[in-house]
Amino acid sequence: MAANCFGAVVNDDTLHELSLPVTRENRAQVAWSRMYIDDKKGQASKYVANLKDMYGTGVSTWCLLYNATGDSLRYSNSHSWLGGSIYNPGYPEEIGNGQWAAFLHVHGEVMVGSLGAVVYRGKNRHGQDQDFLLAWSTPWNPIYTNKAYCEFGPVNIYEERWDEMANRLDQSGYVSHFTVDGVEVHAETERGGSPMFTATIKLS
């Protein structure tokens, strides 16, 4: 797994150790129950804080994503509005079940803030591939509020819909929640010029 993923992967071996039947639902439930063990969220938070220290001053969004879907999430696509960008090492290609991913999104060369989105591919409760979109807005001007947005849909649904997603993000608030097909996605952001954006994807 990538260096910016934290925590032991919850897999079939984990279920064997717990004497649980090997099912995707059990992998997801165990992952959800272990969200905070071994300080893995704390490790992810410290990692992105170190990225911010290396990057320096300016508007940014500290992003954390937890996977409790029972399977890996794989990077599909991303977009930055108004010149923003993801800071090295970028988005992890794969996030294991039971892992936190951490990454830093930063403002562009002009004073426009950090506005971005990432899409990870996983499965709904029925085993069908889905694209999960997570988006954040941290404006440069403090008179505007920070925003979080999340949703998911069929594979490749977001390829040519970035303007629409920008509008949905703009109409959102500090918290966003989306549930359908046995999956729950939750995203929230803090106040301030370098907030923590936290998202979770889990089977419901």
Largest Cα separation within the chain, whole Å, is 55
What residue ranges define each of the domains in the chain, with the CATH number in brackets? 5-203 (2.60.270.20)
Nearest CA to 191 among 172, 167, 174?
A: 174
Nearest CA to 121 among 183, 29, 55, 62?
A: 183
Name the 3-class secondary structure at 171: coil
Torsion angle, alpha carbons of 124, 175, 105, 158, to 10: 40
* Core vs surface per residue 155-173: b (16+ CB within 10 A) or e: eeebeeeeeebbebbeebe
52: how many CB neighbours lie within 10 A of its CB?
Answer: 18
168: phi then psi, degrees, rounded to nearest 5: -65, -40
pLDDT score recorded for residue 36: 97
Weakly modelled stretches of the chain, pLDDT under 70: 1
- The C-alpha atoms of residue 80 and residue 132 are separated, in whole angstroms, by 16
Token pair recorded at residue 55: 């990057």
What residues have CB less than 8 Å from 73, skipping those under 6 apart? 65, 67, 94, 95, 120, 121, 122, 132, 201
What residues have CB less than 8 Å from 167, skipping those under 6 apart? none
pLDDT score recorded for residue 108: 80
Report whether 122 contacts 130 (CB < 8 A): yes
pLDDT score recorded for residue 1: 66
Q: What are the tens digits of pLDDT across the range 118-142?
A: 999 999 999 999 999 999 999 988 8
Q: What are the tens digits of pLDDT across the range 149-182?
A: 999 999 999 998 999 999 999 999 999 999 998 9
